[in-house]
Amino acid sequence: MENAYQTALQQFEEAAHILKLPKSLYLRLREPEWATETNFVFPMDDGEPKLARAFVVLHSKLNGYFKGGVRYDPNVTFDEVKALAMWMTWKTALVNVPFGGGKCGVICAPAEHSNEELKRLTSNLTRRLMPFLSPHIYIPAPDAGTNEQVMAWIFDEYSARQGIGDCYNVVTGKPLRLRGSHGRKEATGRGLRIVAQRVISKMGLVMPEKPRVAIQGYGNVGSVAAQEFYDIGMNIVAICDKGGAIYNESGISIPKLNEYMAQQRIAFEEAKRIISTEKTARRDIPNIALREPTVAGFPEAETRNRDAFWSIPSDILIPAALENAITESNAQEIQTLLVIEGANGPVTPGGEKGLLKRNPYCIIVPDILANAAGVLVSYFEYVQNTEWYSWTRTEVYEKMEAKMAEATDRTLEAYKKGQAKHSLRMASYLVGIEQVALAGKDRGK
Outline where DSSP puts E strands in 230-272.
235-241, 244-247
Q: Is 56 exposed, middle or buried (0-12, 13-18, 19+ CB in 10 A)?
A: buried
Instruction: Establish whether 103 is a catalytic residue.
Output: yes
Options 138-146, 152-160, 310-318, 426-434: segment touching ligand NAD (CB under 6 A): 138-146
Among 103, 119, 174, 272, the active-site one is 103
Closest residue to bound ligand NAD by CB: 219
As a whole number of angstroms, the distance between CA 94 and CA 10 comes to 19
As a whole number of angstroms, the distance between CA 68 and CA 57 comes to 9
Smallest distance, ligand NAD to C-beta of residue 409, A: 20
Considering the rule CB under 6 A, would residue 153 count as an interface residue with ligand NAD?
no
Among 181, 188, 264, 336, binds ligand NAD (CB under 6 A): 188
Among 374, 384, 410, 427, binds ligand NAD (CB under 6 A): 374
Measured CA to CA in angstroms, residue 443 lies from 25, 63, 139, 210 at distances of: 11, 10, 22, 50
Write out the DSSP string of 41-85. Answer: EEE-TTS-EEEEEEEEEEEE-TTSEEEEEEEE-TT--HHHHHHHH
Indicate the residue among 16 and 373 with the shorter CB distance to ligand NAD: 373
As a whole number of angstroms, the distance between CA 30 and CA 48 comes to 41
Give the DSSP letter of residue 134. S
To the nearest 10 degrees (0 to 180), the angle between helices 220-231 and 184-203 is 50
Options 142-150, 162-170, 380-388, 403-411: segment touching ligand NAD (CB under 6 A): 142-150
Options 136-144, 274-282, 413-421, 422-430: segment touching ligand NAD (CB under 6 A): 136-144
Among 5, 158, 218, 382, binds ligand NAD (CB under 6 A): 218
Among 15, 104, 221, 275, binds ligand NAD (CB under 6 A): 221
Indicate the residue among 16 and 227 with the shorter CB distance to ligand NAD: 227
Q: Is 288 exposed, middle or buried (0-12, 13-18, 19+ CB in 10 A)?
A: exposed
Indicate the residue among 222 and 440 with the shorter CB distance to ligand NAD: 222
- CB–CB of 370/349 below 8 Å? no
Among 127, 242, 273, 358, binds ligand NAD (CB under 6 A): 242
Residue window 4-43: x/- pattern of binding to ligand NAD, with contact defined by CB under 6 A: ----------------------------------------
As a whole number of angstroms, the distance between CA 170 and CA 141 comes to 9
Considering the rule CB under 6 A, would residue 220 count as an interface residue with ligand NAD?
yes
As a whole number of angstroms, the distance between CA 327 and CA 2 comes to 8
Indicate the residue among 173 and 354 with the shorter CB distance to ligand NAD: 173
As a whole number of angstroms, the distance between CA 11 and CA 2 comes to 14
Q: Which residues ranging from 308 to 327 are in contact with ligand NAD (CB under 6 A)? A: 320-322
Residue window 330-359: x/- pattern of binding to ligand NAD, with contact defined by CB under 6 A: ------------xxx---------------
Considering the rule CB under 6 A, would residue 234 count as an interface residue with ligand NAD?
no
User: Footprint of ligand NAD on this chain (CB under 6 A)?
Assistant: 142-145, 188, 216-222, 240-242, 306, 320-322, 342-344, 371, 374
Q: Active-site residue numbers?
A: 103
